[in-house]
């Protein structure tokens, strides 16, 4: 229906992406290069991601706090690998309060360092551990080639930072976040079948001893890293002096982790589920699950539509009324498709005279007449089905575009249209370096059954290889 509004995906995927963002009113470029304005509809999607993720993080025992935007430049240099990872991306404040600052301050690219400083203050004895913190904040990493939601100079995220008494406890917590929080969220809310794995040494976060990642396949076959959970060993504990008195009375270094997800997930959602008619938002995530539309005026039509909204809301459905009959119906329907609203209930005088309405489904596709009496259960069941259908479609797409290969050349060939899996023992850091010359990377190392290897040397470890955003 809305085919002509957007550049087709098959013609030019990056342009399709930009078109959706503009036409669905998700976001806009900010006035300072690389920044973005998240418009109300885009923000309402992020807000729903945020509140569900926040609940899961709290269930995992972490507590929210807020640390300053500005970090003394000297903090960043304390952990050598960390500053190397970030220095070209930093934004620096040199003037404030009408004069030049004695020590310039950096706008946080992440809060590892300042949180490390305070963890050291708050951690006295083993009783204070584990210390489980999370923060929702904006961070800044100057981008030379910005792309809305995917790579912007400022983005919104949550960053978790924890300190533990033992390596094992830190390892298990990083894994818990990776699997029970992030993967579960992406599966249950975003309807995305992400691949879980660990990063190779080459792809690891600067300063981490292990980086766990979640990789989603986009509709063009490329990968998007949807989140990461890092074991930081004792690197940050050493740099920031996070020590504690053990129950045996010895001063010990803590073990830390950090983990994050960001507004980048909105980009992933668009590219994993969108089609040529626009966005498709998974029902559990959708800010508006059902748009009840007055097709045109007529006796009792608006009242009937309002009643449908009320009946749906009473059953916990996020339903909204669209009674803007002065705007052509076709335009409103196209707009709802662009925005990916899962279900439209169209209420018009003719149908209504026969006691029915039309239900149009964005995800399953198709329209059908439904009697008013059976509408609510029909909608509830459609929302459930649609979540599963979206997940299944994304999974089928991923499987269809993933080839099991045995050589570096075949991996490179597969990466033209999707991913390759190749035994890590066969690829190794050398094969990885060769692929990198063509901008193909090892997205993660995973086990054939989808579990996460404890080390890259485990028997049977597979490298998932592809191009990435």
Taking CB under 5 A as the binding criterion, the range among 203-211, 325-333, 383-391, 420-428 that sits at the site for Zn ion is 203-211
- Asked if 82 interacts with Zn ion (CB under 5 A), we say yes
Among 3, 12, 14, 64, binds its own copies (CB under 8 A): 64
Cis peptide, bond prior to residue 292, ω within 30 of zero: no
CB 133 within 8 A of CB 65: yes
Structure tokens at 157: 């995220």
Q: What is the dihedral of CA 47, 258, 171, 442, to 10 degrees?
A: 90
- Asked if 468 interacts with Zn ion (CB under 5 A), we say no
- Asked if 137 interacts with its own copies (CB under 8 A), we say yes
Site string for its own copies, 145-164 (x = CB under 8 A): --------xx-x--------
Comparing CB distances to its own copies, the nearer of 94 and 455 is: 94
Q: Footprint of its own copies on residues 12-41 (CB under 8 A)?
A: 28, 30-32, 35-40
- Asked if 128 interacts with its own copies (CB under 8 A), we say no
CB 438 within 8 A of CB 449: no
The angle subtended at Cα 228 by Cα 223 and Cα 232, nearest 5°, is 140
- Asked if 459 interacts with its own copies (CB under 8 A), we say no
CB 256 within 8 A of CB 213: no
- Asked if 72 interacts with its own copies (CB under 8 A), we say yes
Among 5, 206, 245, 447, binds Zn ion (CB under 5 A): 206
Residue 206 site contact among Zn ion, its own copies, none (CB < 5 to 8 Å, cut-off depends on kind): Zn ion
Residue 70 CB, nearest distance to Zn ion (Å)?
18
Other C-beta atoms closer than 10 Å to the C-beta of 184 total 11
Structure tokens at 412: 């490179």
Give the CA diameter of the chain: 81
- Asked if 124 interacts with its own copies (CB under 8 A), we say no
- Asked if 97 interacts with its own copies (CB under 8 A), we say yes
- Asked if 93 interacts with its own copies (CB under 8 A), we say yes
Residue 161 CB, nearest distance to Zn ion (Å)?
11
Q: Footprint of its own copies on residues 104-123 (CB under 8 A)?
A: 104-105, 107, 114, 117-118, 121
Residue 140 site contact among Zn ion, its own copies, none (CB < 5 to 8 Å, cut-off depends on kind): its own copies
Residue 76 CB, nearest distance to Zn ion (Å)?
9
Comparing CB distances to its own copies, the nearer of 17 and 41 is: 41
Taking CB under 5 A as the binding criterion, the range among 168-176, 201-209, 325-333, 443-451 that sits at the site for Zn ion is 201-209
- Cβ neighbourhood burial of 265 (10 Å; 0-12, 13-18, 19+): buried
* Distance set, CA 70 to CA 59, 155, 241, 262 (Å): 30, 15, 21, 20
Q: What is the dihedral of CA 407, 413, 418, 424, to 10 degrees?
A: 20
Residues β-bridged to residue 230: 211, 258
Residue 417 site contact among Zn ion, its own copies, none (CB < 5 to 8 Å, cut-off depends on kind): none
Comparing CB distances to its own copies, the nearer of 159 and 351 is: 159
Comparing CB distances to its own copies, the nearer of 149 and 182 is: 149
Instruction: Identify the H or E element spanning 117.
Output: helix 112-122
Residues in the chain: 469
* Distance set, CA 206 to CA 209, 232, 266, 333 (Å): 9, 9, 25, 47
Residue 157 CB, nearest distance to its own copies (Å)?
12
Among 160, 207, 274, 466, binds Zn ion (CB under 5 A): 207
Residue 214, by phi and psi: left (phi above 0), alpha (psi -120 to 50) or beta?
beta
Helical spans, DSSP H, in 229-346: 235-240, 264-273, 301-314, 329-339
CB 289 within 8 A of CB 383: yes
Residue 138 site contact among its own copies, Zn ion, none (CB < 5 to 8 Å, cut-off depends on kind): its own copies
Taking CB under 8 A as the binding criterion, the range among 62-70, 292-300, 437-445, 450-458 that sits at the site for its own copies is 62-70
Residue 53 CB, nearest distance to its own copies (Å)?
14
- Cβ neighbourhood burial of 59 (10 Å; 0-12, 13-18, 19+): exposed
- Residues near its own copies, by CB under 8 A: 28, 30-32, 35-40, 43-44, 46-47, 63-72, 75, 87-98, 104-105, 107, 114, 117-118, 121, 133, 137-138, 140, 142-144, 153-154, 156
- Residues near Zn ion, by CB under 5 A: 82, 206-207
């Amino acid at each position: 229906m809305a085919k002509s509004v957007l550049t087709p995906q098959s013609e030019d995927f990056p342009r399709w992406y930009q078109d959706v963002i503009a036409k669905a009113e998700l976001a806009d470029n900010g006035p300072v290069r690389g920044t973005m304005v998240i418009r109300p509809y885009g923000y309402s999607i992020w807000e729903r991601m945020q509140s569900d993720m926040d609940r899961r993080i709290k269930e995992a025992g972490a507590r929210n706090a807020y640390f300053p935007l500005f970090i003394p430049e000297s903090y960043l240099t304390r952990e050598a690998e960390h500053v190397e990872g970030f220095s070209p991306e930093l934004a620096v404040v040199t003037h404030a309060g009408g004069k030049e600052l004695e020590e310039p301050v950096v706008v946080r690219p992440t809060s590892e360092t300042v949180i490390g400083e305070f963890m050291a203050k708050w951690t006295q004895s083993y009783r204070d551990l584990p210390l489980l913190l999370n923060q929702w904040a904006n961070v800044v990493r100057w981008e030379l080639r910005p792309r809305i939601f995917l790579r912007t100079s400022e983005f919104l995220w949550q960053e978790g930072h924890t300190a533990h008494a033992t390596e094992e406890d830190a390892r298990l917590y990083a894994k818990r976040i990776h699997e029970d929080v992030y993967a579960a969220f992406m599966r249950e809310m975003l309807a995305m079948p992400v691949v879980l794995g660990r990063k190779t040494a080459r792809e690891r976060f600067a300063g981490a001893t292990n980086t766990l990642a979640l990789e989603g396949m986009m509709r063009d076959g490329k990968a998007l890293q949807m989140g990461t959970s890092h074991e930081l060993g004792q690197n940050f504990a050493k740099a920031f002096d996070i020590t504690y008195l053990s129950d045996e009375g010895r001063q010990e270094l803590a073990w830390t982790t950090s983990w994050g997800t960001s507004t980048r997930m909105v980009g992933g959602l668009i590219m994993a589920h969108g089609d040529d008619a626009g966005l498709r938002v998974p029902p559990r995530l959708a800010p508006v699950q059902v748009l009840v539309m007055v097709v045109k005026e007529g006796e009792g039509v608006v009242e009937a539509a309002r009643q449908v909204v009320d009946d749906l809301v009473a059953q916990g459905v996020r339903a909204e009324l669209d009674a803007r009959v002065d705007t052509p119906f076709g335009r409103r329907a196209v707009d709802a498709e662009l925005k990916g609203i899962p279900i439209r209930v169209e209420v018009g005088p003719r149908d209504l005279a026969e006691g029915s309405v039309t239900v149009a489904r964005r995800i399953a596709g198709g329209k059908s007449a439904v009697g008013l009496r059976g509408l609510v259960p029909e909608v509830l069941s459609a929302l459930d089905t649609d979540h599963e259908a979206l997940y299944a479609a994304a999974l089928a797409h991923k499987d269809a575009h993933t080839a099991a290969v045995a050589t570096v050349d075949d991996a490179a060939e597969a990466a033209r249209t999707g991913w390759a899996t190749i035994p890590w023992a066969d690829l190794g850091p050398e094969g990885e370096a060769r692929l990198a010359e063509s901008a193909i990377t090892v997205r993660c190392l995973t086990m054939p059954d989808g579990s996460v290897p404890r080390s890259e040397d485990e028997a049977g470890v597979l490298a998932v290889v592809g191009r990435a955003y």
